[in-house]
Amino acid sequence: MNYDSSMSGTLKRRLALAVVAGVGATLIVSAGPAAAGGVPHIRGGETVPVYSYENAVRESVWVQTPLDNDEDGVPDKVAVDIVRPRETADRRLKVPVILEGSPYYSCCGRGNESERKQYDANGTIVKQPLYYDNYFVPRGYAFVAADLAGTGRSTGCMDVGGREEVLSAKAVVDWLNGRAKATYADGTPAVATGWTNGRTGMIGKSWDGSVANGVAATGVEGLETIVPISAISSWYDYQRYNGVLRVEDYPEYLFSYVNGRPASACAATVSRLDEGSDDATGDYNAYWAERNFRPDARKVHASVFIAHGLNDTNVTTDQFAQWWARLGVPKKMWLSQAGHVDPFDLRRADWVDTLHRWFDRYLQGLRNGIDREPAVSIETTPGNWVNERSWPAARATSQRITLGNGDGTTGTLGGGSGRAVRTWTDAPDLDEATAVASPATAVPGRAAFLSAPLTQEVRVSGTPSVTLRVRVDKPTTELTARLVDYGTATRVNYLARGEGITTLPTESCWGAATAADDACYRDTAPSLVTADHAILTRGWKDAAHHVSLRFTTPLRPDRWYTVTVPMQATDQRLAAGHVLGLILQASDNEYSTPQSTGATIDLDLRGSSLTLPLVGRLPKPGAVAPAVTTAPVPRTFAPPRFDPLVP
């Protein structure tokens, strides 16, 4: 890959010490003279690997939570597996903690290789998934992996983003700070304050990162930083698209996917998931409000380091964008062109180095300057990253673009509409590849609008939306909008099974090793495709929710309504000579479960427009849209509405 800066001397030294490609062990090299203040793992403003990983303390405790949602009369307990340096305990040095709370440790595994926790015959943890313990424990951190309530070895019942889930992870932070009780397997008390200073950082991808967001939103004392990767900030927006149902019975499915308890223990919880999520209406209600962390962003005092794929069709991009916009704390963000992919599998050396420096700054208190560097790193084209001070782009302006009539079949972006009306009937079997291909031809079930060929590069940075003035012959219809870049380019192939990466047979190692845990992971390479068009972003809305997401307002067939369809946040550059397209449909059978009413939609172009956060401007449109022809680009894996919240 090409990066916008050369490899630092610090990073080169770390790679020389910590990475042995293709070998199942990693060397620990002496760090030199004792550090000032008697802290052996701090040298020259950074933590260094001086402690034995093989000889680390490995133990399990059960932390008591404040809830009893399995209703057995006993407070629910969270199983917590710990790896911490023995030498710091012997010297009575207290270390900070890196915590990952996950429902995946037993059922499904973590990371690109789906690693699970492993125990010896005595029940002692011998392998933690991922490299966090291998890399950070020798550097003076403890790593703590908590089975969320109702999963793994924990009691309670998983409530899929709800209070039980969040408070079970919060209880671990409380225990680390002496505010909650825990016991060992034999029932004797377990106390953490003898070996940790309580300074905790949470990390995790997907569901795990979502938990980190939720715990941070409680404002819990002792949580100093979080690193949410491809994470949820509103579970409503994960399972609903502005009133559009993503998939039926999804909370119950996610529960069953990770559940570690007997069915009888959690029947009441499953019933509450079914009733509260309210598939019948798609309304935002108290159930979803409990699972929306964004209003409590003001309570967050932990620093936040976000990583997300701009083409993530599982945890879509509004999850990071709306969270980022509300945070008033030190924050940093990486945005890649991939889908639901961990940056460890995209930009491995830079990611580990940056994560190391981030934790050193906010958990060890080392003034290493990372908080003064540009806050945002964005992949603009495959393998090319740029650093910026803020996001969205500082020069992006909100521009309203009219929908012109064009030739009466294909409209224009910009230009006059006259009294033109576009009419189409919902075609629930119209797939995305067909809908966006060949925009200059008539396709039943869609309406297409094209810009003139770009005279210079433009950048879409932020959250687009389309406002539609519609008349519908049914009480409601779903509305779908897609923004498309028409023009040949090599792009990250996020629609392939690896969502932008290909896993290679070689390995690299990222930390110290034991016989049971070698810290070595399969290398990856970018998965690229050269195509004549690509979808930049998508948006959906149930038209009956045009007044509020909290209730439906059925449409009357004799009235015109203004419905705004927000699209997912994005940051994309369109090259000179390319054409920007807007494709409108009704229901979408790939990214949602269509609740098709068979509606016929009239679209009044005079009252409709596209709003784009643009750096640059679209060229003045011609009288008709340019003649753009394309070939369909079919996806190569299962539609994302059927995927679980994958690890």
Q: pLDDT tens-digit profile of 118-153?
A: 999 999 999 999 999 999 999 999 999 999 999 999
Residue 240's DSSP bridge partners are 245
Contact 236, 288 (CB under 8 A): yes
- Domain count for the chain: 2
pLDDT bin (cut points 50, 70, 90) of residue 640 is low
Assess whether 14 and 65 both reside in one domain: yes
Pairing of strands 118-119, 196-205: unpaired
For residue 595, the model assigns a pLDDT of 79
Which of 340, 356, 546, 578 does the annotation list as catalytic? 340
274 is catalytic: no
Residue 376's DSSP bridge partners are 333, 388
Rounded to the nearest integer, the mean pLDDT of the chain is: 92
Contact 472, 600 (CB under 8 A): yes
Distances (CA, A) of 627 to 7, 265, 405, 441, 585: 45, 62, 15, 9, 21
Among residues 324, 354, 388, which one ends one of the domains? 388
For residue 633, the model assigns a pLDDT of 63
Assess whether 30 and 170 both reside in one domain: yes
pLDDT in tens, 191-235: 999 999 999 999 999 999 999 999 999 999 999 999 999 999 999
For residue 5, the model assigns a pLDDT of 32
Amino acid at 176: L
How large is the greatest C-alpha to C-alpha distance in the chain, in angstroms? 82
The tokens describing 368, both together, are 């290493």
Strands (E), 555-629: 561-566, 570-574, 579-585, 600-615
Residue-range definition of the domain harbouring residue 539: 397-492+531-642
For 85, other C-beta atoms within 10 Å of its C-beta total 27
pLDDT in tens, 520-539: 999 999 999 999 999 999 99
SS3 58: strand
Assess whether 64 and 202 both reside in one domain: yes
Q: By C-alpha distance, which of 15, 16, 48, 55 is closest to 32?
A: 48
Say if 4 falls within a structural domain.
no
Assess whether 304 and 417 both reside in one domain: no
For residue 30, the model assigns a pLDDT of 32
pLDDT bin (cut points 50, 70, 90) of residue 35 is very low
Torsion of CA 246, 247, 248, 252, to 10 degrees: -100
For 557, other C-beta atoms within 10 Å of its C-beta total 12
Say if 144 falls within a structural domain.
yes
Assess whether 366 and 422 both reside in one domain: no
Say if 518 falls within a structural domain.
no
Return d(Cα 556, Cα 622) in angstroms, integer: 36
Say if 509 falls within a structural domain.
no
Assess whether 127 and 181 both reside in one domain: yes
Assess whether 233 and 105 both reside in one domain: yes
Q: Which residues contact 420 (CB under 8 A, 6 or more apart)?
A: 405, 408, 411, 605, 606
CATH of the domain at 336: 3.40.50.1820
pLDDT in tens, 439-477: 999 999 999 999 999 999 999 999 999 999 999 999 999
Assess whether 426 and 556 both reside in one domain: yes
Per residue, the 3-state secondary structure of 437-453, as one string, reads: CCCCCCCCCCEEEECCC
Contact 197, 95 (CB under 8 A): yes
Per the document, the length of the chain is 647
Assess whether 128 and 275 both reside in one domain: yes
Say if 523 falls within a structural domain.
no
Q: By C-alpha distance, which of 636, 591, 640, 632 is closest to 434?
A: 632
pLDDT in tens, 319-351: 999 999 999 999 999 999 999 999 999 999 999
Return d(Cα 619, Cα 625) in angstroms, integer: 12
Return d(Cα 69, Cα 255) in angstroms, integer: 14
Say if 524 falls within a structural domain.
no
For residue 632, the model assigns a pLDDT of 65
Say if 294 falls within a structural domain.
yes
Does residue 20 have a pLDDT over 50? no
SS3 498: coil
Return d(Cα 102, Cα 204) in angstroms, integer: 8
Does residue 11 have a pLDDT over 50? no
Does residue 422 have a pLDDT over 60? yes
Does residue 605 have a pLDDT over 80? yes
Pairing of strands 331-336, 303-309: parallel
pLDDT in tens, 152-173: 999 999 999 999 999 999 999 9
> Taking residues 486-513, what's their average pLDDT?
96
> Taking residues 490-499, what's their average pLDDT?
95
Say if 510 falls within a structural domain.
no
Which of 312, 342, 426, 517 does the annotation list as catalytic? 312
Assess whether 253 and 176 both reside in one domain: yes
Does residue 1 have a pLDDT over 50? no
Among residues 367, 388, 409, which one ends one of the domains? 388
Distances (CA, A) of 307 to 299, 324, 550, 635: 21, 11, 30, 24
For residue 637, the model assigns a pLDDT of 56
For residue 209, the model assigns a pLDDT of 98
Does residue 16 have a pLDDT over 60? no
Q: Which residues contact 589 (CB under 8 A, 6 or more apart)?
A: 428, 429, 430, 431, 639
The tokens describing 146, both together, are 């908590």
For residue 37, the model assigns a pLDDT of 58
Query: Is the whole-model pTM more than 0.85?
Result: yes
For residue 631, the model assigns a pLDDT of 78
For 113, other C-beta atoms within 10 Å of its C-beta total 13
Return d(Cα 484, Cα 501) in angstroms, integer: 22
Assess whether 422 and 560 both reside in one domain: yes
SS3 98: strand
pLDDT in tens, 376-406: 999 999 999 999 999 999 999 999 999 999 9
SS3 172: helix
Which of 206, 233, 461, 609 does the annotation list as catalytic? 206
Among residues 334, 356, 388, which one ends one of the domains? 388
Assess whether 345 and 401 both reside in one domain: no
For 529, other C-beta atoms within 10 Å of its C-beta total 16
312 is catalytic: yes
Does residue 8 have a pLDDT over 50? no
For 634, other C-beta atoms within 10 Å of its C-beta total 10
Return d(Cα 157, Cα 154) in angstroms, integer: 9
Sign, CA dihedral 335-336-338-342, equals: negative
Does residue 36 have a pLDDT over 90? no
The single-letter DSSP state of residue 592 is S
For residue 31, the model assigns a pLDDT of 35
CATH of the domain at 591: 2.60.120.260
70 is catalytic: no
Higher pLDDT, 642 or 4: 642
